[in-house]
Structure 1
């Protein structure tokens, strides 16, 4: 793996996240690799809907599915990407941890989500936001179009309280922007930016993968990655360091059938 961006470009991406709340790396991951993910994900989604379709914790016809840490999803070309990790390090520290490997997928019949954040403020009593502490690295497993449920986000709302961000939206000072992406595009975002999922009007599911990275001291036990011992032994030193706080298990066959990450909107 090699960096394709200069240090100046990495800093520009970092600054975009600091200022706007997100940045987009176009044509960054291999579409062929993501096509393999999409094909492996389809039966996981079907199984999940059969098992938990009545929960609807992400909204009508919208499903959160944790990905198993095994091929093709346990791919160091994705979670150890040098450019992504360079941006992550500048935002949440050189000692960041990888804490999430999952997907969010709206189907036909899905609706607009309530505007929300993916994490509460660290210190709500001071009514002031902190530097970044948790990031979502999103990349779609299909092209994201205006018709199949693009993510919408309001720039710069990660820098103010949720209440102030909602007031700015109501006043028209900021707007929700739909983010359309091609397979291979990568969005890195501060999870505090106000956002929502939108309806998928097509017959095709629109899976969006997410890898979470956070500062080393942030533990959200509902969001974790179970790592089979066999996979752990294959990891590079850097990957072991990124994944050091996640549980290593004998086998994924014994993992909980139910998604633990139920409360997601703040």
Structure 2
């Protein structure tokens, strides 16, 4: 059973949702949100969660990572010494707090509209020894962006550790979400002749525990070499506008028992498969071009 929860009457909202939207709109500046994501393609919020909350998330991801490494296909390579693991929302204790955070909802509504859908949750782990990734997008740019110049998906990221320069920080080339994919391999990997432009623009992000960021996954980016002796896990929450189709790449599952405990205002933003028992996720979005690292 797929829980899409589209409201048949788009002009009506319950009182709880109206109150939530009003609170978010008065707390966060929609113009700033739109300007950042349509401009640089990335935006952050310092101290969105407590360090204790981030540590709890880190503890949960460590267990999930160990389990995934033991399961065939559980951890997908994203380059040497790097993995991505797709998980179930109820695998972490802080899912509801994350998905209903006022800044998260404000950003989603501003950029994606009131009918946005959460379609993915997982985490990346660049381990010690990980090398520079090639510059890339996470998936090909859709027609909405290439022709309509609209963003129809977002990726939220939360670190579970304090990030320092030698830990392989995330690097992004601001403004490149609008680059046309001319000569991009698979629509995702730009030619190396573009690299000097990206390197000139490049910004390395070194968030601390409790910080959250959001970006367009189309903005050209890469993970850098992890020369430390520590892994750098980061949670990923993927969200779509109604015109996007990224749910097809993922398998968001929620048990009926857990789903029943969720607030109504969250349920309407989930595109998920309701199950009696969680099933191992078969990863549907491999990125073969990342496997060798940057040549």
Coarse TM-score class (shorter-chain normalised): 0.7 to 0.9
Q: Identify the match of residue 178 of structure 1 among 192, 200, 204.
A: 204
What is the CA-CA distance between 1:74 and the residue it aligns to?
5.2
Which position in structure 2 is the counterpart of 1:236? Answer: 263
- What are the Cα deviations for residues 209-239 of structure 1, in whole angstroms up to 9, with x where unaligned? 0111111232232223111111100011111
Counterparts of 1:62 and 1:36 in 2: how far apart (Å)?
22
CA contact (8 A) 1:102 1:209 kept: yes
Residue 204 (str. 1) matches residue 230 (str. 2): yes
- What are the Cα deviations for residues 143-163 of structure 1, in whole angstroms up to 9, with x where unaligned? 111111111000000122144
Which position in structure 1 is the counterpart of 2:213? Answer: 187
Counterparts of 2:198 and 2:124 in 1: how far apart (Å)?
28
CA contact (8 A) 1:122 1:130 kept: no
1:25-40 → structure 2 map (5 Å cutoff): 25-40=45-60
Counterparts of 1:200 and 1:172 in 2: how far apart (Å)?
20
What is the CA-CA distance between 1:175 and the residue it aligns to?
2.1
What is the CA-CA distance between 1:27 and the residue it aligns to?
1.0
Which SS does the other structure have where 1:233 is aligned?
helix
Which position in structure 2 is the counterpart of 1:215? Answer: 241
Residue 154 (str. 1) matches residue 173 (str. 2): yes
What is the CA-CA distance between 1:129 and the residue it aligns to?
6.2
Counterparts of 1:141 and 1:17 in 2: how far apart (Å)?
23
Paired residues in the alignment total 262
What is the CA-CA distance between 1:56 and the residue it aligns to?
5.6
What is the CA-CA distance between 1:72 and the residue it aligns to?
3.2
Sort the Cα spacing of 1:7 and 1:160 in 2 relative to 1 into closer, same or farther, 3 A: farther
Which position in structure 2 is the counterpart of 1:94? Answer: 114
Unpaired runs of at least 5, structure 1: none
Residue 247 (str. 1) matches residue 273 (str. 2): yes
TM-score w.r.t. length of structure 1: 0.87
CA contact (8 A) 2:250 2:283 kept: no
What is the CA-CA distance between 1:51 and the residue it aligns to?
3.0
What is the CA-CA distance between 1:171 and the residue it aligns to?
4.4
Q: Identify the match of residue 138 of structure 1 among 149, 157, 170.
A: 157
Counterparts of 1:132 and 1:6 in 2: how far apart (Å)?
23
What is the CA-CA distance between 1:71 and the residue it aligns to?
5.3
- What are the Cα deviations for residues 146-204 of structure 1, in whole angstroms up to 9, with x where unaligned? 11111100000012214497666424784221111001111110111000111222222
What is the CA-CA distance between 1:112 and the residue it aligns to?
1.0
Which SS does the other structure have where 2:90 is aligned?
coil
Root mean square deviation, CA, Å: 2.8
Which runs of structure 1 show a deviation greater than 4 angstroms over 4 or more consecutive aligned residues?
1-8, 52-56, 126-129, 164-169, 171-174
TM-score w.r.t. length of structure 2: 0.79
Sort the Cα spacing of 1:178 and 1:119 in 2 relative to 1 into closer, same or farther, 3 A: same
- Bigger shift: 1-10 or 38-47? 1-10
